[in-house]
Amino acid sequence: MNKVYVTAIVKDVPAEEYGRYLSPMKARRMGKLQKRALVTALKAMEISGIGEPDAILNGTAMGCMENTVQMLNGLSAEGEEVNMPTCFMQSTHNTVASQIAIFTGNHGYNTTYAHRTISFELALQDAFLRLRAGLARTALVCANDELTELQVQQPDFFGQLEVQDRSEAWMLSIEPGDHPIYELENVKIIHDKGAEDRAIIQKISL
Amino acid sequence: MRPKVVITGMGVVSALGVGVKANGIALMQGISGIREARYLPTEHREFPVGEVQLSSEELRQMLELPDGRLYSRTHLFGAAALREALSMTNLLEHKGLALISGTTVGGMDVTESLFPNPLPKGQPDVHDCGASTNDIADSCGDFDYTSTVSTACSSAMNALIMGKLLIENGERDIVVAGGSEALSKFHLNGFKSLMILDRERCRPFDKTRSGLNLGEGAAFLVLESEESALKRGAQILGVLSGAGNACDAHHQTASSDNGEGACRAMTQALSNAGLLSANIDYVNAHGTGTPNNDASESAALKRVFGAQLPPVSSTKSYTGHTTSASGSIEAAFCLMALWNGFIPVQPEFENPDEQCIIPVSGSEALSVDLHHVMCNAFGFGGNDSSIILSRYE
């Protein structure tokens, strides 16, 4: 069984740095979350020196809410005459992981977990097991969520699930590289009826 | 050696009915469940759909779930499929099961019925994908691990692929995996905006095809290590012998002309199963009926199988495209086909298209002895998955 290392962790790349990774032309067509998610992923690839990970995984509690709410507003205002193709196709939860793959031309394993507060940990577990078993050597594991104006104004509009407005990207590798951050030992998932699901990332700081 | 992942139970809900038996009979007799919308409160009656022929209230009563809360149809279909899957293999009282469900729509049917009003105070969360999975898990059986995969139309198949990984790594002995998805005005109007809905019953791979029909439903398969199944004395229905997932990396919704992602997914599934393309006796294609998908999938099938193409059919002409649930509903169909020795045919197919493979057509299922069956599910973002189900021998 392979050992699994975390070789880069990047959080919320500030807008001033976007230009380093993304031309204004390409950025213009993207929503706020898409841009932040993509540059955060690209920076993790840059720092780790792994530009073509074998797998790209994302965890998102609620998915692409900006587009989802826009589409709901459209349906509510215009009824079923609504015609919002771009908004719809970018409302699906796997928009971000697909976009990273399309942008970097990556044909590897690609998946997205949307399971409340432990979405990222489920993506991390999948990647960890894949690397440990030798099905992949490297994996980019991301966490991405956005808060819409509607959710800021009315935090419980969609229920009690708390969403963090964030983009985070971890690079996993079976090689420690020059600056490993953690060695991952396992990820444990706990579901207990009536309570919020929990996850424990078992890791050793290096 | 990695442990063999066998299948010991399944539950299915679709436009063909509630339960494995009703679905199997319709498939064998060539009876489609696609018709005019009746339960979805849409104005777009011009687009036929594959609806589960029960109202939410009828489903709630059938499942004996308490009144006084909001139920998404995703939750209700999932609960019905889960109950059938667990009871089939005597796991209703088993402690510490894992559930992985694929969905994208989640509780959108409830959200859009309330919008622009919020979820009423005091109601449990309904909207998000994870809430529907946890509601399904908590409706029967005893689960201490739950997870939701959301990769659009390949969600349920990717849930099966993750279940296989958990068992092969020794993390779990039993994983119930699949998906559930209700029709919503949200995605019906979304697909309408993309101009890929057919006004007639869909005709996958036919020259006259002009889009898909949306459907809804759920299916769960009980995945189990062979050792655990034998120890329990459970009946083994088949083997999940291979799995592949690859990204087409071409476009957010369109598939590449040469079917790169699909070709990679099928090739991986074969090598993961330790099989050659010549070993596959039947392919249940993704075959949505859109001009783009069917041409791209055909190109990929030709690349993988060359001149020795096994019989191929799409069962979307029976259920409609059940989006996130399609991967597990069609995997369940493949398992029924393996178990009963039949190949579902496409009743609507008439006109071959030089860009496409020619599917198996006719009025009722072909009687064939099957050993290895491939099942495809492709999603937005070029998320392409393929699995192989084999007879247990």
DSSP code string of B97-129: EEEEEE-SSTTHHHHHHHTTSPPPTTPPP-SSH
Rounded percentage of chain A residues whose pLDDT exceeds 90: 96
pLDDT value, residue A48: 98
Out of 3.40.47.10, 3.40.50.10860, 3.50.50.60, 3.20.20.80, the CATH code matching B242-390 is 3.40.47.10
Instruction: Calculate ∠ Cα A31-A148-B132, nearest 5°.
Output: 105
pLDDT at B1 over 80: no
Q: What is the CATH number of domain B5-232?
A: 3.40.47.10
Handedness of CA A90, A96, A98, A103 (dihedral sign): positive
pLDDT digits (tens, 9 = 90+) for B348-366: 899 999 999 999 999 999 9
B256-281 average pLDDT score: 98
d(CA B100, CA B165): 12
Beta bridge partners of B113: none
Phi, psi of B154 (to 5 degrees): -105, 10
Task: Specify the residue for token string 């469940």.
Answer: B33
DSSP character string of B38-49:
SSS--S-TTS-B
- Please provide the distance, in angstroms rounded to a whole number, between the alpha carbons at the two ends of chain B: 18
Nearest CB to B260: which of A72, A107, A154?
A: A107
Number of Cβ atoms within 10 Å of the Cβ of A73: 16
A82, burial (CB in 10 Å: exposed 0-12, middle 13-18, buried 19+)? buried
Q: Average pLDDT in the B106-113 region?
A: 98
With CB atoms and an 8 Å threshold, state whether A101 touches B249. Answer: yes
Mean per-residue pLDDT for A32-57? 97
Amino acid letter for position B131: A
* Residue from B308, B267, B311, B317 nearest B289 by CA: B317
Count of CB contacts below 8 A, A vs B?
Answer: 208
Backbone angles phi, psi at B64, to 5 degrees: 50, 45
CA B255 and chain centroid, separation? 19
Q: Domain ranges in chain A?
A: 4-205
**Disruptive mutation site among B148, B164, B176, B214 for chain A (greatest number of A CBs within 10 Å):** B148
> How many angstroms separate the CA atoms of B233 and B229, rounded?
6
**Helices H, strands E: what count in chain A?**
8, 7
Token output for B234:
């459970």
User: What is the average pLDDT score of chain A?
Assistant: 96
For chain B, percent of residues with pLDDT exceeding 90 = 98
Residues B8, B226: contact at Cβ < 8 Å?
no
- Within 13 Å, how many C-alpha atoms sit on residue B77's CB side? 38
Q: In the numeric block, which tokens belong to residue B376?
A: 């495809």
* Residue corresponding to tokens 């739950």: B146
Distance CA(A111)–CA(A92), nearest Å, equals 12
CA-CA distances (angstroms) from residue A157 to A61, A67, B77, B309? 15, 16, 25, 51
Q: Summarize pLDDT for A170-193 with one digit per residue, the tens.
A: 999 999 999 999 999 999 999 999
The per-residue pLDDT for A26 is: 85
Of B138, B156, B153, residue with least CA distance to B100: B156
Alpha-carbon gap: B85 to the closest alpha carbon of chain A (Å): 20
Confidence of residue A28 (pLDDT cuts 50, 70, 90): confident
Q: Which residues contact B99 (CB under 8 A, 6 or more apart)?
A: B82, B133, B136, B137, B141, B143, B145, B146, B147, B175, B176, B177, B220
Query: Where in chain B are the domains?
Result: 5-232, 242-390
Interface mutation target, options A69, A89, A186, chain B, most CBs of B under 10 Å: A89
Class of A4-205 per CATH?
alpha beta
Per the prediction, chain B carries an average pLDDT of 97
Provide the 8-state DSSP code for B212: B
Q: What is the pLDDT of residue B252?
A: 86
Which of B158, B166, B193 comes nearest A83 by C-beta? B193
